[in-house]
């Protein structure tokens, strides 16, 4: 992963409440952590047959992934933006499949993808976390 482009792939994220002081990098990390936490809980509900709780948590996770996808900045000229967009789209579709078919293996798959993405995101050096300006084509 090209660290210099990673932080710039996301638009500045605004939030309310206890996360108002977090920077964009921290907010993205919090969103990923929240999605992972919900997926782990949803898996437990799924294997116990607790349909309503499973559905609620998967729905929230799909919303979080939508927020991550919506925060991508298409103005940043990097192949990372369309790749992340496609990955988020894939994860959302897989979560719908997992919910409809009660398939915990699919939840494990998406959890693993999010964990890998989150770990890579956390490895971005502090000085590279500021968005990189788009290069002028002239």
pTM for this predicted structure = 0.78
Spatial distance between the Cα atoms of 45 and 38, rounded to a whole number of angstroms? 10
Spatial distance between the Cα atoms of 136 and 85, rounded to a whole number of angstroms? 23
Q: Is the pLDDT confidence value at 9 over 60? A: no
Spatial distance between the Cα atoms of 13 and 29, rounded to a whole number of angstroms? 11
The pLDDT assigned to 26 comes to: 86
Q: Is the pLDDT confidence value at 1 over 50? A: no
The pLDDT assigned to 31 comes to: 94
The pLDDT tens digits of the residues spanning 88-129 come to: 999 999 999 999 999 999 999 999 999 999 999 989 887 776
Spatial distance between the Cα atoms of 81 and 101, rounded to a whole number of angstroms? 30
What structural domains does the chain harbor? 23-122 (1.20.120.340)
Give the range among 5-9, 32-36, 99-103 with minimum mean pLDDT: 5-9
């Amino acid at each position: 992963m090209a660290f210099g482009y990673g932080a710039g792939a996301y638009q500045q994220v605004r939030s309310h409440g206890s996360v108002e002081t977090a920077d964009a990098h921290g907010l993205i990390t919090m969103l990923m952590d929240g999605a992972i936490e919900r997926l782990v809980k949803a898996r437990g509900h799924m294997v116990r047959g607790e349909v309503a709780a499973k559905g609620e948590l998967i729905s929230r996770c799909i919303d979080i992934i939508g927020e991550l996808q919506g925060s991508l900045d298409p103005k940043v000229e990097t192949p990372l933006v369309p790749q992340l967009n496609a990955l988020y789209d894939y994860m959302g579709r897989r979560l719908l499949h997992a919910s409809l078919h009660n398939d915990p293996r699919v939840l494990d798959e998406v959890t693993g993808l999010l964990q890998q993405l989150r770990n890579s995101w956390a490895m971005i050096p502090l000085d590279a976390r500021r968005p990189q300006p788009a290069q002028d084509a002239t």
